[in-house]
Amino acid sequence: MHPVRPKVTTVDEYIALFSGPASAKLHEIRRIIKATAPEAEEIISYSIPAYKYHGQLVFFSAYTKHVSISFPPHSIFEVFKAELSPYKYSKSTVQFPLDQGLPEDLIKHMVAYKMQENLELEAAKRNK
């Protein structure tokens, strides 16, 4: 649960709410997502940073001891189950501790997977 924070309208404003390791991790996550999904639209959704690419792509947020990356639930967390095993995760969110490095390759692969999944879901809807 997020503590009460000022309402933000941009990702820059959201990241500016944090300092130290949390801020550094948020900047790093943003860089990884933008490098992997340069065409994705950056927005604030549910009061946190999010990206849209043919639908909801990925969300991220910071907390006292970790940063979280969330994906709309489909198959992604089952597909990456082995790679996610060192981390705390649910059906839609993975937590990365602030005192550990981010698994950049894993995040890139998950974002790329979700981009492809969104394209496939969109094509399936069109073909119905």
Per-residue confidence in pLDDT tens, the chain, 128 aa: 445 567 899 999 999 999 999 999 999 999 999 999 999 999 999 999 999 999 999 999 999 999 999 998 778 999 999 999 999 998 889 999 999 999 999 999 999 999 999 999 888 888 87
Q: Which whole-number Å values give the CA distances from 71 to 18, 42, 68, 109, 128, in the listed order? A: 22, 14, 10, 13, 25
Q: What pLDDT sits at residue 3? A: 53
Question: In this structure, are residues 49 and 60 in contact, taking their beta carbons and an 8 Å threshold?
Answer: yes
Bridging pattern class, strands 48-52 and 41-45: antiparallel
Structure tokens at 10: 């941009």
Q: What is the pLDDT of residues 114-126, one digit of tens each?
A: 999 999 988 888 8
Domain boundaries, the chain: 11-126
Q: What pLDDT sits at residue 4? A: 57
User: Was domain 11-126 assigned CATH 3.90.1150.200?
Assistant: yes
Model confidence, pTM: 0.91
Q: Which whole-number Å values give the CA distances from 51 to 27, 56, 87, 105, 120, in the listed order? A: 14, 7, 22, 18, 17
Question: In this structure, are residues 33 and 60 in contact, taking their beta carbons and an 8 Å threshold?
Answer: yes
Question: In this structure, are residues 62 and 22 in contact, taking their beta carbons and an 8 Å threshold?
Answer: yes
